[in-house]
Amino acid sequence: MANEVMDTDADASGSAMPQKRPGRRPGRPSGAHGEQARTQLLDIALELFARQGIGETTLGAIAREAGVTPAMVHYYFKTRDQLLDMLIDERFVPLRAELARVFNDPHSEPVETLRAFVETLVATVEKYPWFAALWVREMISEGGLLRQRMAERFGDAHRERAVERIAGWQKEGKLNAALEPSLVFASLFGLAVFPLATSRWRGEGEHAIGAEQLARHVVALLMNGIQPY
């Protein structure tokens, strides 16, 4: 019996047949190539979300834009919600942490802190071209899926802490008391992000507005608006 089993992989001349390696399932990248493909799909999803909105972008549309099969996209992301959660965890949470970093020093002065916040925000928008358009489409527009998902996952704790910080500076006489704390960050985002989300505001040639110019402009507006009288 043992000899019969041993002989099943031998040909008529008695030589051993080469063993076949188990193949990977179709559409399943491996190793570094697989991680690279996943990162590329996330990048393409961000571009499409910024261009046409999350609600209008299917996994099939991402596959077409990437030039891959829908099966490959589904291998990495079973649903669009799962894809969105991955984008939040891997792209938005790190950016939010970077923006919040300027508030880590409890002894920092408000004017300099908000100046640093604006400069970091403008640099972020300049570094990630999808950020501004996606913010306009999904964070300030009614029914934005990104805003809904962020609220579901993180609530308002982050925003409330920022509002409390503004209100505390006002009580200390370090910020204009006429400011509405809940609107300060919305105003900063509007001043810094909206011009970069709309190409016509940036101009062309010698009239083009760069990130450094925009940051200087917003800070100049802030200096008379946020300081106490």
Residue type present at position 7: D
- pLDDT at residue 228, as a whole number: 65
Q: Check: CB of residue 175 under 8 Å from CB of residue 224.
A: no
Residue type present at position 21: R
- pLDDT at residue 204, as a whole number: 59
Mean pLDDT of the chain: 81
In this structure, how many other beta carbons lie within 10 angstroms of the beta carbon of residue 24? 9
User: Higher confidence at residue 207 or residue 90?
Assistant: 90
Which of 2-6, 97-101, 158-162, 169-173 bottoms out in mean pLDDT, i.e. has the lowest? 2-6
Each residue's pLDDT tens digit, 185-201 = 888 888 888 877 776 55
Confidence of residue 206 (pLDDT cuts 50, 70, 90): low
- pLDDT at residue 14, as a whole number: 45
Mapping DSSP onto H, E and C, the string for the chain reads: CHHHHHHHHECCCCCECCCCCCCCCCCCCCHHHHHHHHHHHHHHHHHHHHHHCCCCCCHHHHHHHHCCCHHHHHHHCCCHHHHHHHHHHHHHHHHHHHHHHHHCCCCCCHHHHHHHHHHHHHHHHHHCCHHHHHHHHHCCCCCCHHHHHHHHHHCCHHHHHHHHHHHHHHHCCCCCCCCCHHHHHHHHHHHHHHHHHCHHHHCCHHHCCCHHHHHHHHHHHHHHHHCCC
- pLDDT at residue 13, as a whole number: 44
Is it true that domain 87-226 has CATH number 3.40.640.10? no
- pLDDT at residue 5, as a whole number: 36
Instruction: Please give the Cα distance from 6 to 147 (Å, whole number).
Output: 64
- pLDDT at residue 134, as a whole number: 92
Written as six digits, the tokens of 87 are: 């984008």
- pLDDT at residue 10, as a whole number: 40
Confidence of residue 11 (pLDDT cuts 50, 70, 90): very low
User: Higher confidence at residue 1 or residue 161?
Assistant: 161
CATH topology match: 29-78 vs 87-226: no
Q: How far from 110 is each of 98, 117, 123, 191, 220, CA to CA, in Å?
A: 17, 10, 20, 18, 15
Determine the average pLDDT of the residues in 58-78. Answer: 96
Checking if the pLDDT of 7 tops 70, the result is no
Share of the chain above pLDDT 70, in %: 79
Q: CATH for 29-78, among 1.10.150.120, 1.10.10.60, 1.20.1440.120, 3.40.30.10?
A: 1.10.10.60
**Torsion (CA) 37, 193, 121, 87 in degrees, nearest 10:** -30
Checking if the pLDDT of 86 tops 90, the result is yes
Q: Residue 228: which residues within 8 A CB-CB, separation 6 or more?
A: 173, 174, 175, 176, 177
Please state the domain extents for the chain.
29-78, 87-226
| Letter string b/e over residues 84-112, b meaning 16 or more CB atoms within 10 A of that residue's CB | bebbbeebbeeeeeebeebbeeeeeebbe
Checking if the pLDDT of 62 tops 80, the result is yes
Each residue's pLDDT tens digit, 20-48 = 444 444 445 544 468 899 999 999 999 99
